[in-house]
Amino acid sequence: MKTYREHLKIANLTLDGYFNYGNVLQRYAVCNLLMGLGAEVESLWFSPQAGFLPYLQSHYPWMKDSWDWKTWVKLGINWKGATHKMFFGENAWEAARNAVIKSFVDRYIPMRYDVDFTRVADEYDYFVTGSDQVWNPYYADLEKLFITFAPSEKRIAYAASISCPEIPQDKLQAFIDGVNGMKEISVREQAGADLIQQLTGRRVQVVADPTMLVTAEDWRSIARKPSWLKGDEQLLVTYFLGKRPDSVIESIARENGLQIVNMLDERVFEHYAIAPEEWLWLIDHARFTYTDSFHGTVFSILFRTPFVVTERVDAGCASKMTSRIDTLLAKFDLSDRRGTNVNGYMIASPLDMHYGDVDKVLAEEKQKAKTYLCHALI
């Protein structure tokens, strides 16, 4: 029987896309984690539009091979609006951000796009799903991300995240069947482990997000200062996937003489279309970070940057995605860095922060991850 010490061929699956920095950085980290065990690794893309050209063509009709007469009429009627949207509007900015993220993926992650999932099961020794919100029933492809196309003995989950407190009724049986079909499971948050045990009776291990198993120095080796950033200003860097509490951010910046960089700011192109390497650099060099993001919090901890993490100001399930951050903060004894609606998304003296023995916790988590994988990959 093979063990992890031998030459294994492993496929990784996670959420597809070139839109989220945490997603691509955790994909990078999972691949590096598995390669560190001596495995040959490829990350599989399963979404219909694998290439970047189909993405652009879906947003820009003029890139398609041909137009029908209706398209010409529409363009003629709204020429100014159409060209502005194509070249200067939100689609163009989104395409630019996708391009720089894809460039990172092409350089650093062994991707495979030409996958026939009706035949791929025999091509790999194991399939590892995770981390990220791969089991979030509201937008994950549960069929692919529970690896139902492969035999159960090949299905491994590393730091899988559910992120929601309950599974909707129409997805419940598929979720239960998916969990029961996995050979080994580890999850990213305690609430996910509790939910799995409640639904299936199965006890699963809680492990660290893979981005935390890459050293800060290794992340710095691929980080890059944005070319548009001039001088040595003290920065307040924000990274919000939901709404930003702008008045609080501006107050902190004003009181502490900080320059604000709102990553994903839809009003400033340079801040919106940041490359992953620049994203890393900004969090590392910020005087203070303000975020509602799990990975924004992870990298603040890795780089020892003072931070506040707020609740997600969104409707629906997104507003309840706190369990993974709760688990993360508790692990590092940083639960007091929470900004909530109750405290006005602010804590006292936000720039004054003492990190405990982060290195000790990270070393323990790295060993736990290795032990789990060594047991799973046999």
361/173 Cα distance (integer angstroms): 37
* Length of the chain as a residue count: 378
Q: What is the CATH number of the domain that holds 263?
A: 3.40.50
Global pTM value: 0.87
The alpha carbon of residue 181 and the mean position of all alpha carbons in its chain are separated, in whole angstroms, by: 25
Q: What's the number of domains the chain is made of? A: 1
21/27 Cα distance (integer angstroms): 10
**10-residue averages of pLDDT along the chain (378 residues):** 68 95 97 96 85 46 46 50 46 90 96 96 97 92 97 98 92 98 96 96 97 98 95 94 93 96 95 97 98 96 97 59 85 94 90 94 96 94
User: How many helices (H) and strands (E) are present in the chain, helices listed first?
Assistant: 15, 12
Query: Which residues, 6+ apart, have CB-to-CB distance to 373 below 8 Å?
Result: 4, 33, 34, 37, 156, 158
Which residue shows structure tokens 């509490």? 245
Q: Is residue 283 within 8 Å of residue 303, measured between CB atoms?
A: yes
Is there a domain that residue 21 lies in?
Answer: no
157/194 Cα distance (integer angstroms): 16
Predicted confidence at residue 311, as pLDDT, reads 86
Q: Is the alpha carbon torsion for 108, 368, 296, 54 positive or negative?
A: positive
Query: In Å, what is the CA distance from 201 to each residue of 157, 162, 185, 226, 378?
Result: 17, 17, 13, 49, 24
Is there a domain that residue 320 lies in?
Answer: yes
| Six token digits for residue 208 | 């660290």
Is there a domain that residue 308 lies in?
Answer: yes
Is there a domain that residue 247 lies in?
Answer: yes
The residue range of the domain holding 333 is 223-357
Strand-pairing partners, residue 308, are: 290
Is there a domain that residue 201 lies in?
Answer: no
Predicted confidence at residue 261, as pLDDT, reads 98
194/197 Cα distance (integer angstroms): 5
129/53 Cα distance (integer angstroms): 26
Is there a domain that residue 39 lies in?
Answer: no
* Radius of gyration over every alpha carbon of the chain, rounded to an integer in angstroms: 22
Q: Is residue 196 within 8 Å of residue 170, measured between CB atoms?
A: no
Is there a domain that residue 41 lies in?
Answer: no
Is there a domain that residue 150 lies in?
Answer: no
CB atoms within 10 A of CB 70: 8
309/298 Cα distance (integer angstroms): 10
Q: Is residue 2 within 8 Å of residue 188, measured between CB atoms?
A: no
The dihedral over CA atoms of 127, 9, 54, 145, expressed in degrees to the nearest 10, equals: 0
